[in-house]
């Protein structure tokens, strides 16, 4: 099995290979993902957790075709160490605001699952450079209206959600997190406002 074959299979579903570590292939949303997802039965059936259910159906079917097993961030506890796996790929880095940043997606990271392959040689690990190193202005640092994110975690989730429930927070709720949008790499990996609203509503139900 080659990474090219896996990437081609992912692309059929609006997904992409975001990184590999050993026999683990992390699969996330590509720029085409939203149009694929909103046409799915999970998006329209009115049941809970539509994106998690879609991810398990699609990535599960991919695993059967490719001869892999799966792991998902939503499974647990115990939860699989997706952050550690991501950092091991050489394509994810810690940003100046604490969140992971990806070499292609910037701060618009949505890892939907992992394909895990056994009994094959390790896939090559990419060795890219953090996009933050060449970012001179670092607009993400000052983007949060309530300073909920910083280089030294923890992320102040209560302050974030309190702000999101105010009139001033409507911009973040309808267009997505201002910090994520401020990242120059994220802007190149843009997502529709409707996709951002979907994610923000899941994060902070009204």
- Number of independent structural domains in the chain: 1
Q: 40 in a domain, yes or no? A: yes
Q: Is the pLDDT of residue 24 over 70?
A: yes
Name the least confident of 40-54, 68-82, 119-133, 157-171: 119-133
Q: Which are the contacts of 32, defined by CB distance < 8 A and separation ≥ 6?
A: 11, 14
Q: Is the pLDDT of residue 35 over 80?
A: yes
Which residues are registered as beta bridge partners of 7?
none
Note down the domain range covering 56: 3-119+130-203
Q: 171 in a domain, yes or no? A: yes
Identify whether the C-beta of residue 190 lies closer than 8 Å to the C-beta of residue 171.
Answer: no
Q: How confident is the model at residue 153 (pLDDT cuts 50, 70, 90)?
A: confident
- For the stretch 163-188, pLDDT in tens is 999 999 999 999 999 999 999 999 98
Spatial separation of the C-alpha atoms in residues 181 and 61, rounded to whole Å: 32
Supply the pTM of this predicted model. Answer: 0.92
Quickly count: other Cβ atoms within 10 Å of residue 117's Cβ.
20
Q: Please compute the mean of the pLDDT values over residues 17-22 and round it to a whole number.
A: 90
Q: 181 in a domain, yes or no? A: yes
Q: What is the pLDDT of residue 138?
A: 95
Residue 64 dihedral angles phi and psi, to the nearest 5°: -60, -40
Spatial separation of the C-alpha atoms in residues 110 and 15, rounded to whole Å: 10
Q: 124 in a domain, yes or no? A: no
Which DSSP letter does residue 32 get? Answer: T
| Tokens at 153, concatenated | 């975690």
Percent over 90 (pLDDT), the chain: 83
Q: 89 in a domain, yes or no? A: yes
Spatial separation of the C-alpha atoms in residues 171 and 189, rounded to whole Å: 19
The dihedral through the CA atoms of 9, 35, 167, 105 has a sign that is positive
| Tokens at 113, concatenated | 């699952």
3-state secondary structure of 27: strand
Q: Please compute the mean of the pLDDT values over residues 5-14 and round it to a whole number.
A: 94
Q: Please compute the mean of the pLDDT values over residues 55-64 and round it to a whole number.
A: 97
Q: Is the pLDDT of residue 119 over 70?
A: no
The overall average pLDDT reported for the chain is: 93
DSSP conformation letters of 33-81: HHHHHTTSHHHHS--S-HHHHHHHHHHHHHHHHHT-EEE-TTSTTTTP-
Between 196 and 125, the more confident residue is: 196
């Amino acid at each position: 099995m080659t990474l090219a074959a896996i990437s081609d299979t992912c692309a059929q579903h609006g997904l992409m290979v975001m990184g590999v570590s050993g026999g683990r292939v992390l699969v996330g949303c590509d720029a085409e993902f939203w149009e694929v997802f909103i046409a799915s039965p999970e998006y329209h059936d009115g049941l809970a957790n539509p994106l998690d259910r879609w991810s398990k159906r699609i990535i599960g079917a991919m695993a059967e075709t490719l001869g892999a097993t799966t792991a998902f961030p939503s499974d647990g506890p115990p939860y699989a160490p997706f952050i550690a796996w991501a950092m091991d790929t050489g394509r994810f880095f810690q940003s100046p605001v604490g969140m992971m940043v990806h070499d292609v997606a910037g701060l618009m990271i949505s890892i939907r699952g992992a394909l895990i392959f056994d009994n094959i040689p390790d896939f090559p690990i990419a060795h890219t450079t953090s996009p933050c190193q060449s970012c001179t202005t670092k607009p993400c640092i000052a983007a949060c209206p309530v300073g909920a994110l910083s280089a030294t975690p923890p992320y102040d989730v209560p302050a974030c959600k309190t702000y999101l429930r105010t009139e001033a927070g409507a911009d973040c709720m309808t267009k997505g997190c201002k910090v994520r949008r401020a990242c120059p790499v994220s802007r190149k990996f843009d997502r529709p406002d409707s996709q951002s609203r979907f994610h923000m509503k899941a994060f902070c139900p009204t």
